[in-house]
Amino acid sequence: MEIKKGFADAIGNTPLIRLNYYSDQTGCEILGKAEFLNPGGSVKDRAALFIIEEAEKKGLLKPGGTVVEGTAGNTGIGLVHICNAKGYKCLIVIPDTQSKEKIDLLKTLGAEVRTVPAVPYKDPGNYVKVSARIAEETPNAIWANQFDNVANRLAHYHTTGPEIWRQTDGKVDAWLASLGTGGTFSGTAMFLKEKNPKIKTIAAEPYGSAIYNFVKKGELSSEGNSFTEGIGNGRITENMKDAPFDDAIRVTDEECLEFIYTLLRKDGLFVGGSSGINVGAAVKLAKELGPGHTIVTILADSGARYQSRLYDQDWLKSKGYSIPEV
């Protein structure tokens, strides 16, 4: 018998899935870590758990306490699930530009949700800054601080990285992932590099993110924008500091659509936009390296979270795109 001891214990150990269509097409083994199979539905369950358990270990979070975070999506969802399972309250600050589905889901799961106007990071009214202030003013509360709390990347250093190493018997040529906080990319990259410094660790980037130019030219600047959610950043967070970036590969929104619809129609995998950027970058790398290489990336969340957007013809049309013919 193998029984998981509750929600938290069911996080991680996700399958590594061979993406058959693109692997056959390129002659490489392109493998997707199925993070959408985490119990809260995304890769962010791992970071949420490590952040909460670190605060417990340090004695910062006590029974009946509150976890506060500024988040637009998956981290908040992961945190609320874990708070429910562990007996904490959860307060989420979210910009009012976020979809009704996400705000409703956070409320349904049991979070106290405060919506604030969407303003830049430097503004004291920014959702991240507001969440920090609320955490400070609330007794027995912690601020999860996913961008700069390195418990986030440690989750991937201690779980995602070792799982990939074990699942591939150490036969990995490259690791690619897009970066939001940078926790997933950096923690996994740091672990894999320690195991084998020859493994290439590469940022998969949407347009509008500054990490691409940071890796390519050492400057934080960006071109264009993207409809993807949860990825891209304009700064180097604590979770990204000292991470081994060997290269960066950029993928357009149009290409992203092609990849997610191909994954759906050819491989039966229903994934979100960041997975389209990840797999797109992995396929570009496979073509560059040539056949015979093993390339690992992540499938961060399910397409179900974007049904009214990336998978909706009218929404796509309003953005100037259409459903690609696959």
Catalog residues that contact ligand PMP under the rule CB under 6 A.
Answer: 42-44, 73-74, 178-185, 230-231, 272, 274, 300-301
Give the number of C-alpha atoms closer than 13 A to the C-alpha of residue 311, restricted to the C-beta side.
Answer: 18
**Residue 98 burial (CB count, 10 A):** 18
Q: How far is the CB of 70 from ligand PMP (least distance, A)?
A: 12
Nearer to ligand PMP, 184 or 262 (CB): 184
How many angstroms separate the CA atoms of 126 and 5, rounded?
Answer: 38
| Shortest spacing between CB 170 and ligand PMP, in angstroms | 23
Residue 112, Cβ neighbours under 10 Å: how many? 15
Place of tokens 């071109």: 223
> Least distance to ligand PMP from the beta carbon of 9, Å?
21
Place of tokens 């953005």: 319
The nearer residue to ligand PMP, 51 or 199, going by C-beta atoms, is: 51
Closest CB to ligand PMP among residues 65, 78? 78
Give yes or no for a contact between 118 and 99, defined as CB atoms under 8 angstroms apart. no
For 168-272, where are the alpha helices, taking DSSP H only? Answer: 183-195, 211-217, 253-267
Nearer to ligand PMP, 150 or 300 (CB): 300
Out of 4, 5, 33, 44, which one is annotated catalytic?
A: 44
Give 39 or 182: the residue with its C-beta nearer to ligand PMP.
182
Residue 203: CB minimum distance to ligand PMP, A: 10
Burial class of residue 175, CB neighbours in 10 A (0-12, 13-18, 19+): buried
In 110-200, where does DSSP find H-type helix?
127-137, 151-155, 161-167, 183-195
Estimate to the nearest angstrom the gap between the alpha carbon of 150 and the chain centroid: 15
Which runs of consecutive H residues, i.e. helices, occur in 58-126?
74-86, 100-109
Q: Dihedral sign, CA of 81, 84, 86, 89? A: positive
Tokens 């795109």 locate to 321
DSSP annotation string for 52-79: HHHHHHTT-S-TT-EEEEE-SSHHHHHH
Smallest gap from residue 59 Cβ to ligand PMP (A): 26
**Which of 47, 285 has the CB closer to ligand PMP?**
47
Q: Which residue is nearest to ligand PMP (CB)?
A: 230
Considering the complex, what minimum distance in angstroms separates the CB of residue 137 from ligand PMP?
Answer: 26
Q: Quick check: is 287 catalytic?
A: no
The set of catalytic residues is: 44
